[in-house]
Structure 1
Amino acid sequence: MIAEIIPQSSALTKKYTNFYITNLLILKNMGQVLGMISAVLILSAIYFRVGGQKNFSNGLFIVGIIGEILFIAIMIMAIFD
């Protein structure tokens, strides 16, 4: 998106655009990793709840949900930025 707005006239502009796109890809990849870790935490919470460890399960579930919310926020930033 930023590549369409900034005219590609100078080397500095091209360097800035490449830096911006690289950071955007890194942010997107970090968000995907966070989403997968959060999904594993939620699945582990379900496993422990079935096993009878309710308190430990509640903690894992809360951390997993917070991670999923952060994942959604990062993906929205990466898409609309």
Structure 2
Amino acid sequence: MKAIVFDVFGTIVDWRSSLIHQFGELEKELDIELPSEELADQWRQLYAPSMDRGAMVISGVWKPAERVAYPVG
């Protein structure tokens, strides 16, 4: 075996608290109020569909990550 690979998104990585914290920092910087928890939840709701639409799988064909971020032809 050369590698063990597993998904850590939401399991080990606490993405929600990180986003809420960053929205709080943005509130201070811009001197505005933001619904930080709602924004974090909305981001998550949009994340999976955006991945499905064209990120990793395009017409059922797996693409390297760099082709997803910077599509060529």
Larger Rg computed on CA atoms: 1
Q: Which has the higher contact order (CA 8 A, sep 6+)?
A: 1
TM-score bracket, shorter-length normalisation: 0.3 to 0.5
Q: Structure 1 length normalisation: TM-score?
A: 0.32
Which structure carries more strand by proportion? 2
Q: Structure 2 length normalisation: TM-score?
A: 0.34
